[in-house]
Amino acid sequence: MALISTPLMFAAVSYRSGSNSLARLLDNKADMGSANFSGHTPLHTAMIGLNQDACKILLERGANRDAKNLSGSTPLVYARRNNPEPEHQTQLENLQILVDHISSTPNQNKR
């Protein structure tokens, strides 16, 4: 467990479409299962930031949608708890659809 966030976590939360930083880190075997002091994985940080593009990349590359942080929350549950405002509901619903769709697709790279 990392005491601070890893470069992959920073890339996941700050990823913008068209950037290749997230893919480059993953191509160079960055650990999607690494967790910080709160138990957050890169997918947790992308979900907290409601970053659909980063979530899609991480999930397609095999990020564990069921990883639990120290409070026992999965990335999507944590995102919902930290973004309860009505204006975030569409983004949260889209993330749920994304998680369900990608998770139902066979993936050889699950980590």
Q: Domain ranges in the chain?
A: 7-103
The confidence score (pLDDT) of residue 108 equals 44
Give the 3-state secondary structure of residue 66: coil
Q: How far apart are CA 78 and CA 47, in angstroms?
A: 8
Please say whether the beta carbons of 111 and 63 come within 8 A: yes
pTM attached to this predicted model: 0.81
The residue ranking higher by pLDDT, 103 or 57, is: 57
Mean pLDDT over 25-51 rounds to 91
**Farthest-apart Cα atoms in the chain, separation:** 38
Mean pLDDT over 57-69 rounds to 91
The confidence score (pLDDT) of residue 18 equals 66
Homologous superfamily of domain range 7-103:
Ankyrin repeat-containing domain (1.25.40.20)
Mean pLDDT over 52-72 rounds to 91
What percent of the chain shows pLDDT beyond 70? 88
Question: Residues 20-24: contacts with CB within 8 Å, 24+ apart?
Answer: 22/54, 22/57, 22/58, 23/57
